A = this chain, B = another copy of it.
Amino acid sequence: MEGHVDHPYVPRDLKLPGYVPVFLSQSTILTVYGTSSVLVVSFMWLLSGRVQKISKVDRILMCWWIFTGLTHIILEGYFAFTPDFYKVKTPHYLAEVWKEYSKGDSRYVGRDSAVVAVEGITAAIEGPACLLAVYAIAMKSSYSYVLQLAICLGQLYGCAVYFATAILEGDNFATSEFYYYAYYVVANMWWVFIPGAIVVRCWKKISAACQVQEQKKSKIR
């Protein structure tokens, strides 16, 4: 009997006792996230302009780090540490986000352990580290590049585990093709390409600095 399945997710035999349907529309959920992100990024762009002798690339990076850091801490943190989010009876924006996103990957609402582990690490370790990266860039700290590299490698590793486990488990967790591409592929893609690009940049900067250091040592000898 189909009557037992009272949720929109795939696989259809996923058991979600106490599931409460999404209250908010897709456009409301995306608009709130989009608007908050634009506000946060605009604020950081203006603030970063007050840092002396800062390059445009560093200002853009400060915007990225505040955006991704707050996403990790608030959105992913809520998911990782709220096992019963899909049972929340009063409309709660963060619960709505994950009930909506689960249309692209039902392992979220199903609390797949690999997804929860990756999201927990991302929220608890990488999130705060992103905020530290904003500070490190502004202060031109000596650990700025190595910190950014470390966070990006974590984000890339997280994405690798995220996609690899999905494939190993049959890659059948999306409600439709649309949600598969829009949420699962496109939304996550940014956390592959942007950290990938930052890794390359930091790797080069660090190698160059280490080379100078090594040459200096050789001269002293």
A161-B212 in contact given A149-B146, A149-B149 (Cβ < 8 Å) = no
The interface bits of chain A over 25-61 (1 if a CB of B lies within 8 angstroms of the residue's CB, else 0) are 0000000000000000000000000000100000000
A164-B120 in contact given A140-B214, A203-B146 (Cβ < 8 Å) = yes
The interface bits of chain A over 176-206 (1 if a CB of B lies within 8 angstroms of the residue's CB, else 0) are 0000000000000000000000000011011
Q: Is the CB of A206 within 8 A of B145?
A: yes
Closest CB pairs A-B (n = 3): A142-B211, A117-B164, A113-B168
- Asked if A14 is at the interface of the complex by the 8 Å CB criterion, the answer is no
A5 to B12, CA, bound (A): 30
The interface bits of chain A over 153-174 (1 if a CB of B lies within 8 angstroms of the residue's CB, else 0) are 1100110110011001100000
The oligomer's copy count stands at 2
Partner of A212, one of B144, B153, B213: B213
**Nearest B residue (CB) for A125:** B160
Name the interface size band of chain A.
Answer: 35 or more
Interface CB pairs A-B, < 8 A, 29: A114-B114, A114-B165, A116-B168, A117-B160, A117-B164, A117-B165, A120-B164, A142-B207, A143-B203, A143-B207, A145-B206, A145-B210, A146-B146, A146-B149, A146-B202, A146-B203, A149-B150, A153-B154, A153-B157, A154-B157, A161-B161, A206-B209, A206-B210, A209-B210, A209-B212, A212-B212, A212-B213, A212-B216, A213-B213
Q: Which residues of B contact A168 (CB under 8 A)?
A: 113, 116-117
Q: Which residues of B contact A143 (CB under 8 A)?
A: 203, 206-207, 210
The interface bits of chain A over 119-148 (1 if a CB of B lies within 8 angstroms of the residue's CB, else 0) are 011000000000000000000101111100
